[in-house]
């Protein structure tokens, strides 16, 4: 047991004791330190490596913008599936033609890597792997039709999931885990578009997966979506739909972040509502799913969101580490 594991175990024990006394105070039957607590103590969470996650972000970005119907998108999809397979996941591809807001038919691909596929108790982790076709939030009007590198908006979440895949391949978790890389998240209309727009033009790969999961009758105990989880000064608040559909999962994740000393990034406050992939997973698949996304109430996501500056210079390894080790600990602590 290395030092981190030891510290985590100690804080688990401390937390268990505190929650026992709280429950006692609330007049409920006081809980003794039960077998469940003892099992908690024995969980060894493998070390999340942010250098490794950073490399997976960089490798995606190196293909160029992962805009559907482009060679870079196709090549990166193959890379992601190969990576998942190399880590020991069972990979399922969903190749789908999705009509975008302007009638463009997107040749989309959801890529699912499953660990321990026969286990009925499962966790679903999501990120989108496509990048935005236009930097329509760029301050320079000449750049507003340039595709976005999507280092933070896209590749960061996938990079963390690939690192978790590496860990799962080396040391299985108790529950089965599905890493669900969604396509066509970021093809919502350009800001100059004058026609009618619907929220369904975002998160199109997620809508398909939520209505047609990779396994018929698929279910998971809960889901976690990672979006823009690599930025400098990222602050995560409880996102609105996550609160409405999955507030207990918010609390589970934020509590773990606090135990790991990441309360500075995982702030104990409510944020705004974001139309993101998790909305459709909650709405159509009925899996309680939160979104870890840097969004305060009414604020922006991050400084270079949907601009040409969302490249590798926008990625902070410390943010990858904070989010990565928190999600990893949540996954491995689930019984």
Residues that bind ligand AHN (CB under 6 A): 153, 186, 202, 227, 274-276
Burial 125-143 (b: 16+ CB within 10 A, else e): bbbbbbbbbbbbbbeeeeb
Closer residue to Zn ion in complex, CB, 45/98: 98
What is the C-alpha to C-alpha distance for residues 254 and 262, in angstroms, rounded to an integer?
9
For ligand AHN, which residue has the nearest CB? 275
Task: Show contacts with Zn ion in window 135-154 (CB under 5 A).
Answer: 153
Q: Which distant-in-sequence residues (6+ apart) come within 8 Å of 199 by Cβ?
A: 275, 279
What is the C-alpha to C-alpha distance for residues 268 and 237, in angstroms, rounded to an integer?
7
Closer residue to ligand AHN in complex, CB, 138/276: 276
What is the C-alpha to C-alpha distance for residues 7 and 2, in angstroms, rounded to an integer?
9
Task: Give, as one character, the DSSP assignment of residue 152.
Answer: I
Q: What is the nearest approach in angstroms of Zn ion to the Cβ of residue 159?
A: 16
Q: What is the nearest approach in angstroms of ligand AHN to the Cβ of residue 207?
A: 13
Closer residue to Zn ion in complex, CB, 292/329: 292
Q: Is 325 in the site for Zn ion (CB under 5 A)?
A: no
- The neighbouring-strand residues paired with 115 are 177
> How many residues sit in the footprint of Zn ion (CB under 5 A)?
3
Q: What is the nearest approach in angstroms of Zn ion to the Cβ of residue 188?
A: 8
Tell me which of ligand AHN, Zn ion, none is bound by residue 278, counting a contact when its beta carbon lies within the kind-specific cut-off of 5 to 8 angstroms.
none
Q: What is the nearest approach in angstroms of ligand AHN to the Cβ of residue 279?
A: 9
Q: What is the nearest approach in angstroms of Zn ion to the Cβ of residue 6?
A: 40
Q: Which distant-in-sequence residues (6+ apart) come within 8 Å of 93 by Cβ?
A: 81, 109, 110, 111, 112
Tell me which of ligand AHN, Zn ion, none is bound by residue 202, counting a contact when its beta carbon lies within the kind-specific cut-off of 5 to 8 angstroms.
ligand AHN
- The neighbouring-strand residues paired with 127 are 181
Token pair, residue 112, equals 């699912």
No. of H helices and E strands in the chain? 9, 8
Q: What is the nearest approach in angstroms of Zn ion to the Cβ of residue 132?
A: 5
Q: Is 276 in the site for Zn ion (CB under 5 A)?
A: no
Q: Is 183 in the site for Zn ion (CB under 5 A)?
A: no
Q: Interface residues with Zn ion (CB under 5 A)? A: 132, 153, 186
């Amino acid at each position: 047991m290395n030092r981190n594991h030891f510290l985590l175990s100690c804080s688990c024990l401390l937390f268990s004791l505190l929650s026992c006394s709280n429950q006692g105070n609330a007049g409920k039957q006081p809980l003794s330190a039960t077998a469940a607590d003892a099992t908690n103590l024995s969980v060894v969470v493998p070390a999340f490596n942010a250098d490794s996650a950073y490399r997976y972000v960089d490798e995606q970005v190196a293909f160029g913008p992962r805009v559907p119907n482009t060679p870079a998108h196709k090549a990166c999809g193959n890379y992601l599936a190969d990576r998942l397979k190399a880590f020991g996941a069972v990979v399922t591809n969903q190749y789908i033609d999705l009509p975008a807001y302007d009638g463009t038919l997107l040749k989309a691909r959801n890529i699912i890597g499953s660990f321990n596929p026969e286990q009925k108790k499962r966790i679903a982790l999501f990120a989108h792997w496509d990048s935005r076709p236009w930097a329509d939030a760029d301050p320079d009007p000449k750049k507003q039709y340039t595709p976005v590198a999507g280092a933070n908006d896209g590749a960061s979440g996938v990079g963390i999931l690939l690192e978790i895949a590496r860990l799962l391949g080396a040391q299985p978790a108790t529950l089965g885990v599905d890493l669900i890389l969604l396509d066509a998240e970021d093809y919502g209309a350009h800001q100059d578009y004058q026609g009618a727009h619907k929220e369904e033009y975002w998160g199109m790969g997620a809508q398909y997966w939520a209505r047609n999961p990779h396994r018929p009758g698929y279910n998971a105990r809960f889901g976690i979506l990672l979006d823009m989880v690599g930025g400098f000064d990222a602050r995560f608040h409880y996102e609105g739909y996550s609160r409405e559909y999955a507030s207990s999962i918010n609390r589970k994740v934020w509590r773990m972040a606090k135990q790991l000393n990441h309360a500075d990034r995982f702030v104990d406050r409510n944020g705004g509502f974001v139309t993101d992939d998790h909305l459709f997973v909650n709405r159509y698949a009925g899996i309680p799913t939160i979104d870890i996304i840097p969004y305060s109430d009414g604020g922006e996501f991050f400084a270079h969101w949907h601009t040409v500056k969302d490249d590798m210079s926008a990625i902070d390894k410390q943010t990858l580490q904070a989010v990565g080790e928190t999600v990893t600990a949540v996954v491995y602590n689930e019984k």
